[in-house]
Amino acid sequence: MTHTRIPFGGEELGPLLARRTHRVRSDAIRDILAAAAVPGMLSLAGGIPAPESFPVERISEVTERVMARSGTSALQYAPTEGLRPMREALARYASATGAAVPVDRVMVTSGSQQGLDLVAQTLLDEGDTVALDDPSYLGAVQVFQRAGAHLLAVPGDRNGIRTDILEERLAAGARCKLVYVVPNFHNPTGAVLSAGRRAHLAALADRYGFLIVEDDPYADLTFTGERLPSVDVHSDRVIRLMSLSKMLCPGLRVAGLVAPAALIPELVAAKQCGDLQTNTFGQYVLADLLGDEDFLPRHTERLRGLYRGKAQALAALLRERLPQLSFGEPRGGLFLWCAVDDARVTADALYAKALAERVTFVPGAHFCVERDGSHLLRLSYATLDDAQRREAVDRLSVAFDKVLADAG
């Protein structure tokens, strides 16, 4: 008996998809990266580290040493929670930037985005509430929406999430399981959660029983060298996501997560279902780098100077060529959060004209939960060199003028 092969069409897929796939359909991150890859496009969009920031020679040296000393082990499977030396290195790093952390409260993840997803998988049931500042990191919004969470949007300012407003809403009866914050050089706004608000947020967590998810990829990119300690110095109810992508490099996909000890086995079980383990070889390399007490301070100081110069240069160009964009003085991180002061120019209209001029950025609405983002946009100063930066601003200025011309 012969079987007639029936083609499977996309229209037949719908009934097979899980309901959660319909909760978030934003392709913004994919589109940002795709636009930046178009030949001739100058990108002020993605938060991609400057290639010159990578410690290529140092990683080459470490790679040779790892292969010479531990080649077989570095190419083998590793425990789901991570290699002991990597977890110890992360524990030291966390303890130096917050409360003392024993190694049993640390696990290794495949980038901090995986850590965020594991937290959502492990702690959130459909309908649970997550409070977060508005606007907020797009990748976090998508993870929480896909988990079926209700998002409680809390306004923020240059000093971070308004914990006084959060307290008012909690006192009025709102209940959340998690509060998500990017405490240092917030993506997209550049805000730094003040010391007072960190303490206040911790007190609210203890009073109302929620957990704080502290996503902190930019803290080492402070332009002044000053760094406030983690919220975990005030409370045990903190989960820390520690990316190494901006400080060292993103390609190895190795990051850390610190959580209350009782939660770690549950997170490890969720990770085991997803990818079994994080890149063994990358863990060997990064454990070596993090253990070098001479290298890391020099490297982070170089990063601060690099990005400080890029930020100041972009800010100066914008003030000169596009005074219609207002923004705060950059203090660290990778972004300028800009408001368009001309009511005739929306971020979406500017984005369309900018793409035609071969320059890209991220319209602010992608980051907003309830806030109107139609006149907001995020610019990254991380990757372009001096000539490219000037050309990008020139193209953006041309795009702005074309939007005005269309508006009459």
- pLDDT for position 35: 77
Domain boundary among the residues 295, 323, 347 is at 295
Do 184 and 269 lie in a common domain? yes
Residues 136 and 233 in one domain: yes
Shared domain check, 44 and 173: no
pLDDT the model gives residue 104 = 97
- Domain presence at residue 59: no
Q: For position 15, what pLDDT does the model report? A: 78
Clarify whether residues 283 and 307 are in a common domain: no
CB 143 within 8 A of CB 114: no
**One domain for residues 269 and 133:** yes
Is 240 inside any structural domain? yes
What CATH code is carried by the domain that includes residue 101? 3.40.640.10
**Domain limit, last residue, from 239, 260, 295:** 295
What was the pLDDT predicted at 196? 98
What's residue 3's pLDDT? 67
Which domain, by its residues, includes 237?
Answer: 76-295
Inside any domain, residue 62:
no
- Which pLDDT belongs to residue 164? 98
What is the residue-level pLDDT of the chain in tens, covering all 408 positions? 566 776 776 677 777 878 777 776 566 667 777 777 788 999 999 889 999 999 999 999 999 999 999 999 999 999 999 999 999 999 999 999 999 999 999 999 999 999 999 999 999 999 999 999 999 999 999 999 999 999 999 999 999 999 999 999 999 999 999 999 999 999 999 999 999 999 999 999 999 999 999 999 999 999 998 899 999 999 999 999 999 999 999 999 999 999 999 999 999 999 999 999 999 999 999 999 999 989 999 999 999 999 999 999 999 999 999 999 999 999 999 999 999 999 999 999 999 999 999 999 999 999 999 999 999 999 999 999 999 999 999 999 999 999 999 987
Residue 344, domain member (yes or no)? yes
What span, in angstroms and rounded, lies between the C-alpha atoms of 402 and 408? 10
Domain boundary among 251, 266, 295: 295
- Domain annotation covers residue 63: no
Count structural domains, the chain.
Answer: 2
Can you give the length of the chain in residues?
408
Q: Report yes or no on 302 lying in a domain.
A: yes
33 and 107 co-located in one domain: no
